Amino acid sequence: MAAQTIQKSVDRDWIELIKQAKHLGLSIEEVRRFIAKSSE
């Protein structure tokens, strides 16, 4: 059950991230590239 709660929290964080990115005019692909580049 705890893992499911953590997953829902992460999902909400991702949704909020994508909403903010779209508000700024960024595409989902641009967000993906930024995250991939940041994790190198």
Residue 1 has pLDDT above 70, yes or no: no
pTM of the complete model: 0.60
Q: Provide the residue range defining the domain that includes 12.
A: 2-38
C-alpha to C-alpha distance for 15 and 32, rounded to whole angstroms: 13
pLDDT of 14: 86
- Of residues 2 and 35, the one with the higher pLDDT is 35
Q: Which two tokens stand for residue 31?
A: 């967000």
Residue 2 has pLDDT above 80, yes or no: no
C-alpha to C-alpha distance for 40 and 32, rounded to whole angstroms: 13
Number of domains in the chain: 1
* pLDDT (tens digit per residue) in 5-25: 767 777 888 889 889 999 999
Residue 28 has pLDDT above 80, yes or no: yes
pLDDT of 9: 76
